[in-house]
Structure 1
Amino acid sequence: MIKVAVTMPGEIADAAEFLADVRALEAAGAEMVLIEGDGVEQQILLGAIAAVTHRIRLRLPNGEVEAILQKLSRGRSVVGQPVDETWISVPMPADRESWAGTMRDQEAAGVTGVIVPWDPRLIDLLRNPEPEDRSDLLMSTG
């Protein structure tokens, strides 16, 4: 099964909403989160994410602050590409069917995971990856 990493924006408007989105991604099964950019602000955001999550890995672009982030995240930080893993960046798919196709194609290619830019639709795609079963929508609409 292909793992999913999400690149979150490096600038935020609402910290509570940003952290809630990351927690929702973690609950939906995302494996790793990255932050756009490579500055102090991004390092602070990764520290905040470490404080409110429990499983998701945190990817740093360089090892500058790895020691403290390792402590804050209880060992979940990764510098650059994780060892013995192949991750590729893919664009956000247009719909559920193209998401499933992208995941199948990457699994066939032998990659470990895909890195996708943040989009609110990702939470639903991670929770309900297959286009056929949308019983959750049937229950909500009656």
Structure 2
Amino acid sequence: MKIKTIHAHFLISIGNYSNERIGFSVELAEEESLEEIVSNLREKAKRIVGKTADELYSERNKIRSECIELEVKLKKLRQEWDATAEFLKAQGLNPTAPSMPQFRNLLTAVTVESEVVTEQDYEDSDIYDDDDEHYM
């Protein structure tokens, strides 16, 4: 038996009980082995899907932890700065010692927008297009 065409479909887990199906159809050349082609297609499918949800959640948590650490350090530095400024003012060494800048021009945090579709919304919507009338 000679195999000429391969149809390879892979179900790849992307985490959080979710899967993504990726498929390919390729012509098999004389010198190519079936196992090698399927293995290459599987790796290609993994690259297309990208990082799993678990990896993305892990990265998000790591970044959140880093932000919290930096906020704690900034708070401590602000307290030290303000204490130093008060000391300089009290001793008369620098009566115009400024408070630590507030950094007002920083970017604001991104908010995630989401849409919740309720069962009532679904029932109220017209699930058929005008083109679908001939299917009824």
Report if TM-score (shorter chain) is over 0.5. Answer: no
TM-score by length of 1: 0.18
Higher RCO, 1 or 2 (CA under 8 Å, sep at least 6)?
Answer: 1
TM-score by length of 2: 0.18
Higher helix share: 2
* Structure of higher CA gyration radius: 2
